[in-house]
Amino acid sequence: MIDLHTHSYYSDGTFSPEGLVIEAKKRGLQAIALTDHDTIDGLAFFQQAGQTYQIETITGIEFAAQYHRFGEQEIHIVGLGFSPDASVLQEQMNAIVTARETRNQKMVSALNKLGFPISYEEIQQNAGGNIVTRAHFANVLVRKKIVKTTKEAFDKYLSANKPAYVEREILTPKLCIETIQKAGGVAVLAHPTLYYMDDAQIELLAEELKRDGLTAIEVQYSSYSTEQRNKIMQIADKVGLFYSGGSDFHGANRPNVQLGVGKNNLNIPYAYWQALKQQCHSYYL
């Protein structure tokens, strides 16, 4: 068994990259990918841990992209098996960091205009050196007793169309796919059932992204029903996409999802990665 979709505390998980590897080893996984949101900062520690604990560690990332065909929609593209040192990837990471910093500063300004004495330094301290997310804003609002719970922070201020929300600058699916491929990896459409699309729309999405260079689609995922899994497999076969799959493990931030097995509904074979690895140019550079 393997897991091709996991997160560390370099994005919104609670495990360190090394902790993920140790947990994967405990669970008897043969390979694991670290696919943090819009960052590759944890990959060096992750791969080093793979060597230490003798488990195959796969480079990964989960890009957020804006898709427009069925209205404004955020979709996620997972990259696997790329070279983290590729210049095209480093350039894209720098652009994402700059855009994220600008957004965070605007959110602080919006909260200040609402009369809340919050500094960006406080938000960064709450993030502990990791990527700042809206969850860190919510934590500070709770700590300063502006709201009682993080849910209230999102409901009143931080969710879309609320007074402190600032829209993210995110990439197009095509740019995500091209970046992954130019870095030697393969692009995977993550959890398509989460995009509020019907089966026909998911199929159209898969076909469009396949033309842009998409290699695979997640046919196993923690929230899929058996019927959904079978349908995504049918779409993959029809469109001509490879299989991928993962738990989307976040540690304590998603306690009902376990590494490798999800909600005890996953059994992802190494054959998925074996097939994908042969499509990764980074292994043959």
Give 251-261 pLDDT, tens digit per residue: 998 999 999 99
pTM of the complete model: 0.87
Give 218-250 pLDDT, tens digit per residue: 999 999 999 999 999 999 999 999 999 999 999
Q: What DSSP element (H or E) covers 199?
A: helix 199-211
Considering only CA atoms, give the Rg of the chain: 19
- What per-residue confidence (pLDDT) applies to 128? 83
Output the six-digit token pair for 60.
């990964």
CA distances to 26, 107, 271, 272 from 276, in Å: 25, 40, 9, 6
Ranking 132-136, 155-159, 238-242 by mean pLDDT, the lowest is 132-136
Task: Decide if 107 contacts 136 (C-beta within 8 A).
Answer: no
Interior angle at CA 34, CA 226 and CA 258, nearest 5: 45
| Sheet with 73-80, edge to edge strand ranges | 2-3, 31-34, 56-67, 73-80, 186-189, 216-221, 242-246
- Distance, in Å, from the CA atom of 207 to the CA atom of 201, rounded to the nearest integer, reads 10
Query: Which residue is associated with the tokens 């205009």?
Result: 113
Closest among 172, 170, 109 to 137, alpha carbons compared = 109
Task: Decide if 180 contacts 81 (C-beta within 8 A).
Answer: no
What amino acid is encoded at 189 in this protein? Answer: L
- What per-residue confidence (pLDDT) applies to 54? 96
Closest among 220, 250, 263, 283 to 56, alpha carbons compared = 283
Closest among 208, 212, 206, 213 to 186, alpha carbons compared = 213
- Distance, in Å, from the CA atom of 212 to the CA atom of 175, rounded to the nearest integer, reads 9
Output the six-digit token pair for 141.
């609002």
Mean pLDDT of 189-195: 96
Give 63-94 pLDDT, tens digit per residue: 999 998 887 789 999 999 999 999 999 999 99
- Distance, in Å, from the CA atom of 176 to the CA atom of 80, rounded to the nearest integer, reads 12
